[in-house]
Amino acid sequence: MGHGIPIVYAEEVREALHERRPVVALESNVITHGLAYPHNAETAHRVEAAVRKSGSVPATICVEDGALRVGMTESDIERFASGTGIPKVSSRDLPVVLARGARGATTVASSLVAAELAGIPFFSSAGLGGVHRGAQSTMDVSSDLIQLTRSKVAVVCAGAKMILDLKLTMEYLETHCVPVVSYGSDDFPAFYCSSSGVRSPHRIDDEDLIARVVANHWAAPAPGSVVITTPPRPEDAVDPAQAEAAITDALAQAERDGVTGQGLTKYLMRAVDRATGGRTAEANMAVLVSTAETGGRMAAAYARHLAAAS
């Protein structure tokens, strides 16, 4: 642990990394804050199974007893899923929670920090955080985006959450030199909708070519992440007009209730789920699983690329 942050690896993850087999890092904030119990625990297991099915080893990340846990056990997942008051830990919170010897659920941003420390080059989650609607005045931009500019970890996702301003999110990624490639769609997906209405800069339907893109980016000086998007399966996607109507209402409610800052994402997601009678929560779960499966395939393609190059 030369870097000074204690890391506790699951045995399976340690072995896979040692043998240079593909591993996909996963966040835990979606378990504690994204979905309700027991759907969150079930989904976390289905996500891990999807990663395995596509030839990689899952490593769900959290903080416990002041250490990064890389590869949560079944009982860890159950404890986090059913627990209350487990804090959301983003990048700025991570050093504090570690120092206090406390526990917490990692967002995309802090999971990328952990993945890079652990030597895991791939991460998967359904929807990135991004530039919030109205960020022109609130300045609410998710740390997920900033972390993408810093961590050498490729991120496989279904785009960014639809509650965000996806045009501005794409602008941010372009400004900050983060490559975006879209697998299986022309447009940048919007989490549970197939398209954000924003065209992706690059569509690539060949996994091995994507692996070369990642390798090229990381051969350049001071690289960060590569964002690889995959759209929801057609049968899982939500009608964009229905989702948009629910989001508009949720944003108005949040404003009325004065919700801002780190609680906003969860507040909005839950309000949208209620307004759609649970349709978006269903889609959220399905997209987490299908994205993880693609993440596993991408990580495997990258491992093949490394093996062939060595």
Question: Which of ligand PSU, Mn ion, none has residue 198 at its interface (CB below 5 to 8 Å by kind)?
Answer: none
Question: Which of ligand PSU, Mn ion, none has residue 236 at its interface (CB below 5 to 8 Å by kind)?
Answer: none
Helix, strand, or coil here: 183? coil
Question: Which of ligand PSU, Mn ion, none has residue 144 at its interface (CB below 5 to 8 Å by kind)?
Answer: ligand PSU
Q: Are strands 88-89 and 180-182 parallel, antiparallel or unpaired?
A: unpaired
- Name the minimum Å distance from CB 258 to ligand PSU: 16
Q: Which of the residues 27, 48, 116, 207 is marked catalytic?
A: 27
Is the Cβ of residue 27 or residue 207 nearer to ligand PSU in the bound state?
27
Cα 186 to Cα 201: distance, rounded to the nearest angstrom: 8
Q: If phi over 0 gives left and psi between -120 and 50 gives alpha, with beta otherwise, what is residue 35?
A: beta
Q: Reply yes or no on whether 282 is catalytic.
A: no
Cα 69 to Cα 65: distance, rounded to the nearest angstrom: 9
Question: Which of ligand PSU, Mn ion, none has residue 32 at its interface (CB below 5 to 8 Å by kind)?
Answer: none
Question: Which of Mn ion, ligand PSU, none has residue 91 at its interface (CB below 5 to 8 Å by kind)?
Answer: none
User: Is residue 64 part of the contact set for Mn ion (CB under 5 A)?
Assistant: no
- Name the minimum Å distance from CB 127 to Mn ion: 14
- Name the minimum Å distance from CB 113 to ligand PSU: 12
Closest residue by Cα to residue 71 from 111, 98, 34: 111
User: What φ, ψ does residue 110 adopt, rounded to 5°?
Assistant: -75, -25
Question: Which of Mn ion, ligand PSU, none has residue 27 at its interface (CB below 5 to 8 Å by kind)?
Answer: ligand PSU
- Name the minimum Å distance from CB 178 to Mn ion: 18
For residue 201, cis peptide bond before it (omega within 30 degrees of 0)? no
Is the Cβ of residue 134 or residue 277 nearer to Mn ion in the bound state?
134
Is the Cβ of residue 126 or residue 251 nearer to ligand PSU in the bound state?
126
Q: Reply yes or no on whether 161 is catalytic.
A: yes
- Name the minimum Å distance from CB 110 to ligand PSU: 8
Q: Please, which residues bridge with residue 69 across strands?
A: 8, 62
Q: Which residues contact 31 (CB under 8 A, 6 or more apart)?
A: 40, 41, 43, 44, 60, 77, 80, 81, 105
Cα 30 to Cα 48: distance, rounded to the nearest angstrom: 13
Residues that bind ligand PSU in the complex, under the rule CB under 6 A:
27, 29-30, 33-34, 90, 107-109, 126-127, 129, 142-144, 262, 265-266, 269, 284
The 114-143 contact track toward Mn ion, x by CB under 5 A, reads: --------------------------x---
The tokens for 193 are 């909708």
Cα 226 to Cα 214: distance, rounded to the nearest angstrom: 6
Q: Which of the residues 64, 88, 116, 161 is marked catalytic?
A: 161
- Name the minimum Å distance from CB 65 to ligand PSU: 21
User: Is residue 165 part of the contact set for Mn ion (CB under 5 A)?
Assistant: no
**Residue type present at position 129:** G
Is the Cβ of residue 127 or residue 301 nearer to ligand PSU in the bound state?
127
Q: Which residues contact 157 (CB under 8 A, 6 or more apart)?
A: 124, 125, 126, 127, 128, 227, 228, 229, 230, 291
Q: Which residues are catalytic?
A: 27, 161
Applying CB under 5 A, which residues contact Mn ion? 140
